[in-house]
Amino acid sequence: MKRVHRAMVTVAAAATALAVVAVPSAAFASPQKTDRSGLRQGLDDITANGAVGALMEVRGDGGEWRATSGVAELGTTREVPTHGRFRVGSITKTFVATVVLQLVDEGWLRLDDSVERWMPGVVPGGDRITVRQLLNHTSGVPDYRQTLPMPPTPEFEADRFRTWTATELIRRAVAQAPTSEPGARYAYSNTGYLLLGEIIRKVTGRSYAREIERRLIKPLRLRGTSLPGTSSGIPGPHPHGYIPVRQGNETQLVDFTRMNPSLMGAGGEMISTTEDLNRFMAELVGGRLLSSRLLDEMKTAGVEGRQYGLGLQWQDTSCGVRVYGNDGDALAYQAWSFSTEDRRRQVTIALTPDFRGDPDDAVEALLDKAICD
């Protein structure tokens, strides 16, 4: 899922006191020749002002540099594991988009195929909506998230272990009015990626999860990456994640590490590590997973003024270097992963927010520093 924490910040203010715990400073591994003290301070500042814990990996000319900050679990002093796993949210979409584009490369699918061709009768007006529009969020298909209770409502927390099917969530979404005519404007839609997951199944006869595993996870040796389906746990070392939940007149942080990720499905269910995401982004942006023609398509904005293409977004840094990648919000976890086009540097940051404030600006500044210094 896309990061949506801005709307939760004010209602979660009462959770601040719960986040006051001992915070170990950043821990280093594989130090580079260049001075990374500024990155260390930036990561510590993020946890001091808006996160329970955080972890980061930078890959560059000097090798790999990793750091953690904060704690792995509220009420403890246990450090965030350097190689810890976390839910990556909408970075899952970049994997799904890569599989779709590989199928296009192989001739099984076309970007201009209609939704109706592959999913007849599922989406009203699907004959006018294309695969390309699902990928770049210009389809007009409503986001199913708008039909569900979300934090801090207690109803959301009560459904944490419910299994949702893609069919069920898609039906909830398309019962709503379209957000626009197809192709008219950008409107972020997790539903679009549920549809893409179903189209992958129709084209290949296998689930999107299986296709991601056999096309990306196994060939790239992404050993810390998985698509859990309905499994509620996070395998291996990992920090705990939290969501704000309203209890009477107060809002408290509730441990939401264990949850049924079918809620996010093809739009955000994946679990990974900083190391794996850096490797994947380097291979993708560096042109090793797609033909140059389709990588160019992936890096082409769906609408003017948006820095979002086909499951991939980009940012221009202060030193004039453009980076490509994605970010994601899995409710109790947030992640950012970007690579330079020449594969010379990658940065991935993940954190477990405490909702005292919005970390976006601080994270983007840290990403900029990691690329430019």
Q: Which of 140, 143, 134 is CA-nearest to residue 173?
A: 143
Whether the upstream peptide bond of residue 359 has omega within 30° of 0, thus cis, is no
pTM score, whole prediction: 0.92
Share of residues in the chain with pLDDT > 70 (%): 91
Q: CA-CA distance, 53 to 37, in Å (whole number)?
A: 18
Please write the tens of the pLDDT for every residue from 43-66: 999 999 999 999 999 998 779 999
Q: What is the pLDDT of residue 342?
A: 94
Q: CA-CA distance, 178 to 138, in Å (whole number)?
A: 11
Q: What is the pLDDT of residue 200?
A: 98
Q: What is the pLDDT of residue 16?
A: 39
Query: In which band, very low, low, confident or very high, does the pLDDT at 5 lie, cut at 50, 70 and 90?
Result: very low
Q: Are 326 and 337 in contact (CB under 8 A)?
A: yes
Please write the tens of the pLDDT for every residue from 126-176: 999 999 999 999 999 999 999 999 999 999 998 999 999 999 999 999 999
| CA dihedral (288, 293, 299, 302) positive or negative | negative
Q: CA-CA distance, 336 to 277, in Å (whole number)?
A: 9
- Token pair recorded at residue 130: 């294309």
Strand runs labelled E in the chain: 51-60, 63-70, 86-87, 242-247, 250-255, 271-272, 313-316, 322-329, 334-340, 346-353
Taking the alpha carbons at both ends of the chain, their separation in whole angstroms is 30
Q: CA-CA distance, 161 to 139, in Å (whole number)?
A: 30
Q: CA-CA distance, 38 to 152, in Å (whole number)?
A: 34
Which CATH homologous superfamily contains domain 86-270+287-312? Answer: DD-peptidase/beta-lactamase superfamily (3.40.710.10)
Residue 97, H or E segment:
helix 91-105
Query: In which band, very low, low, confident or very high, does the pLDDT at 2 lie, cut at 50, 70 and 90?
Result: low
Q: CA-CA distance, 150 to 2, in Å (whole number)?
A: 14
Q: CA-CA distance, 137 to 90, in Å (whole number)?
A: 13
Query: Dihedral through CA 71, CA 337, CA 344, CA 59, nearest 10?
Result: 20
User: How is the chain split into domains, by residue range?
Assistant: 20-84+273-281+342-373, 86-270+287-312
Query: In which band, very low, low, confident or very high, does the pLDDT at 1 lie, cut at 50, 70 and 90?
Result: low
Give CA angle at 323 (320, 326), nearest 5°: 145
Count of all residues that appear for the chain in the document: 373
Q: Which of 302, 356, 355, 306 is CA-nearest to residue 333?
A: 355
Active site residue 90: yes
Query: In which band, very low, low, confident or very high, does the pLDDT at 230 lie, cut at 50, 70 and 90?
Result: very high
Selecting among 69, 90, 337, 339, the annotated active-site residue is 90
Whether the per-residue pLDDT at 17 is higher than 90: the answer is no
Q: What is the pLDDT of residue 248?
A: 87
Find the mean pLDDT for residues 228-237: 98
Map residue 148 onto helix, strand or coil: coil
Q: What is the pLDDT of residue 169?
A: 98
Q: What is the pLDDT of residue 23?
A: 41
Give whole-number Cα distances, 358 to 9, 19, 33, 49, 146, in Å: 7, 15, 32, 9, 21
Whether the per-residue pLDDT at 286 is higher than 70: the answer is yes
Query: In which band, very low, low, confident or very high, does the pLDDT at 338 lie, cut at 50, 70 and 90?
Result: very high
Whether the per-residue pLDDT at 8 is higher than 90: the answer is no
Place of tokens 């969530």: 169
- Token pair recorded at residue 348: 């991935």
H, E, C per residue of 26-62: CCCECCCCCCCHHHHHHHHHHHHHHEEEEEEEEEECC
Instruction: Please count the CA atoms within 13 angstroms of the CA of 267 that sit on its side-chain side.
Output: 28
Give whole-number Cα distances, 182 to 14, 122, 132, 175, in Å: 41, 16, 10, 16
Map residue 90 onto helix, strand or coil: coil
Please write the tens of the pLDDT for every residue from 23-49: 444 443 433 444 688 999 999 999 999
Query: In which band, very low, low, confident or very high, does the pLDDT at 258 lie, cut at 50, 70 and 90?
Result: very high
Share of residues in the chain with pLDDT > 90 (%): 87
Q: What is the pLDDT of residue 9?
A: 39
